[in-house]
Amino acid sequence: MPQNSYKTKQRTLILNCLKDNKDRHITAEEIHEYLLRGGESVGMTTIYRNLDKLLKEGQLRRYELTQGQSACFQYVDGEGDCREHFHLKCEGCGRLIHLDCDDLAKLSEHIEKEHAFYLNSSKTVLYGLCADCKTQKDK
């Protein structure tokens, strides 16, 4: 029994970390660092195993943003469906912004109609700087 509750504790810790960081992509390494800062020691194998389970359960999304980088994960809460909108990714702070925009929806429709190509908006990420990072850069 202790081993079973230990796994439950680890899963809860990992899930809480993901919820605390739901507005951005987070790597397994960042989860590990987050847990260590909180005084919790959870091995990387355990983190990856739990991430796989959470992915299969639909509680996470996995992103591979750039080739050669670690995969990133994001918690998907029941309040918003990440499947029907685009994302903005700040290259400064790493923040992920969910973007419901009629103009981008029109662009997607145009691409379908004129180019016979169907965008997967849940995986469409536009890169740039958020207003805060742009302001910092300009200083």
What pLDDT score does 83 carry?
A: 54
Superfamily of the domain at 81-139: Ferric-uptake regulator, C-terminal dimerisarion domain (3.30.1490.190)
- Whole-angstrom distance, CA of residue 65 vs CA of residue 71: 7
Identify the CATH number of the domain defined by range 1-79: 1.10.10.10
Domain with CATH 3.30.1490.190 in the chain: 81-139
Q: Which tens digit of pLDDT belongs to each residue from 65-81? A: 666 667 888 788 765 45
Domain with CATH 1.10.10.10 in the chain: 1-79
| pLDDT band, residue 10 (cuts 50/70/90) | very high
- Quickly count: other Cβ atoms within 10 Å of residue 115's Cβ: 8
Q: Which of 55, 128, 136, 54 is nearest to 95 (CA)?
A: 128
Entry pTM: 0.62
Q: Which tens digit of pLDDT belongs to each residue from 85-128? A: 788 888 888 777 778 788 988 999 999 999 999 988 777 888 89
- Whole-angstrom distance, CA of residue 100 vs CA of residue 105: 8
Over the Cα atoms of the chain, what is R_g?
17
Pick the residue with more confidence: 18 or 94?
18
| pLDDT band, residue 2 (cuts 50/70/90) | very low
Q: Yes or no: say if 71 and 56 are a contact pair by the CB < 8 Å rule.
A: no
